Structure 1
Amino acid sequence: MDDNYPSPELLEKYLSGRCSPDEARLVERWYDSFENRPDLAQEHPQTQDSAYSRKILQQIRQRIEDAESRPVRPLGLGRNWFWALGGVAAALLLLTLGIWQFQRVETAGKPALGNPKITERTLENTTKTILRRELTDGSVVWLSPATKLRFPERFAPAQRIVQLEGEAFFEVRRDTSRPFVIQAGKLKTEVLGTTFNVRAYRNSVRFEVSVVTGKVAVSVANRQPVLLTARQQAVFNPKAESLAKMKLPRFTKPKPWEPATIAFEWASLRQVADALEETFGVRIQFRNPALQNCKLRADFTNMRLPVILNLLCKTTDSSYTLDGQEIELDGLGCP
């Protein structure tokens, strides 16, 4: 068995909160391998262009025709056969490298963030679930539905700039030499390393930046930035270009991106859903009523709602969709 694949016993320990930090990291790396595996269209978007495919095919055909037009000498059975085959192998290698080089030049694509030497990448969540993605600097972003994030293939030495449209929760890897900057329209959020949520959908009358841990600087244009700490929020009105700072009420239900602790001992999925509704203020429905009968034992200590939902779905072989505060679970269910 693959050493990186956690055993059923280790998964059971993880869900019950009994594993060591090293074991927990093993499980989380395995989980990340599913969430961060890019498909061909995401890794090489040019392959979706029919003109690009025709160009590659034409290049290959031309090289084949050039090779076929050359005279072929019979190979003797002496010592020269080794060098002749070596020449054929070298030609094939050059052909492969030529195609790779052509593809690499095509992949350079359009310039990112004003720098013509940097390739830009785009993450877009067109699903109805919250997607977890890891950026090239090790930071983690949770993309809500209908959210788009643009960032360079390689961050600049002085700062890490991304552009956001929609809502996302960020877990920024600390780097004091390179601030992390989120540009959402006219709203700019700058951090060194912290966890926070940014809500900035296009045409929205209210943008929000909410801090869970650490410190965040929020600003508009060249105005004095607003400094936020844990459980503080900045609200921006795009039309009036006004920016206000407020403190989140102390005794309110945690937001989906805030951590909470819930434990279950062979509880039905209906009981789990009730507890999540009470904790996070959401509403959970079951598309297949039989799914409510599934039982599980788990310890969700200091976890956010998206993490809990993903673990629940993997444990019960189900899926979920999100629409605002409405969550719908679907799966085969249990008798």
Structure 2
Amino acid sequence: MQLKDLYRLLGLTGNEPSPFSSEGHKAQVKAEIWSKINDARQQLGEFPSPKVVSINRKQLILVAASITFFSVLGLLVHRKLTKRNAIIEYVTYKTPKGQTQMLELPDKSVIWLNAATEVRIPQKFTQQRDVYLIDGEAFFEVTPNKEKPFVVHSNGIETKVLGTGFNVKSMKNLAEIKVAVLHGRVAVGNAQQTFDVITKNQSVTYNKQTGTAQTKEVNTDEVVAWRNGDVVLRMVSFDEIITAIEDVYNVDIEYNATQFTYCRNYIRFSYKQPLAQVLDMLKAIQGIDYSVNGKTIKITGGAKCK
């Protein structure tokens, strides 16, 4: 701060102060400054002296214990929030058409993936074991763990278990999502409600178009026959049969889907059978004609269903 600024701050007369002309002039300026400082102290009042508070040994221990408690509590909350907000890394597995695959999860549970199936699995499970069936069909053999529920997410449908064996079929191009239990007990539902809790040889079929769910008895040995290289489809839509053939034989089938909207059929074949045999079975069932051009099959004709 320059001398002229100090003059202006203290309200001294004179605009631009000149250098000291003599020792007397210097003493005069010093006296004026101290006079202004004393006036300011009298207006503001003297600052009170700090108050000293005595604390006995017992109070000191209580204060220390309180500080320790809240420090530990804060640390625990921080760790919990950090763990909750931790980034979960996932791995995606996708089986090509015509192939199946078995996966072992971090908790030793096992997943069998049918042909043309895609799943997303965390590299490490946290408080809940979440697996995402993006598209296709998979069988789950879950290791029991009451502390960590196992949840399969499939296009808006959640299948919750503790330890069991069950099959989930959720394909993007099909109208129905199917969950069947081989052994154990699972709850099937969505974010709004639980459709049903099913046990051995029971199945829940959810219709994505109508938003309705139906529970029925099934032969789960037939449902999971694909794990042994067999396809058993009982009273299913024509679309589901076509999808199964495409996935097993890695072909594309062109057909008029609206013509077979209300059709429900039964078919059984092996992965080892020639494609022509399976198409001939479909011809006998639905009265269709077909032509093959490389990996593309065109279906014409066929009886309509009511």
**What is the TM-score when the length of structure 2 is the normalising length?**
0.47
Between the two structures, name the one with larger relative contact order (CA 8 Å, sep ≥ 6).
1
TM-score by length of 1: 0.43
Which one has the largest radius of gyration? 2
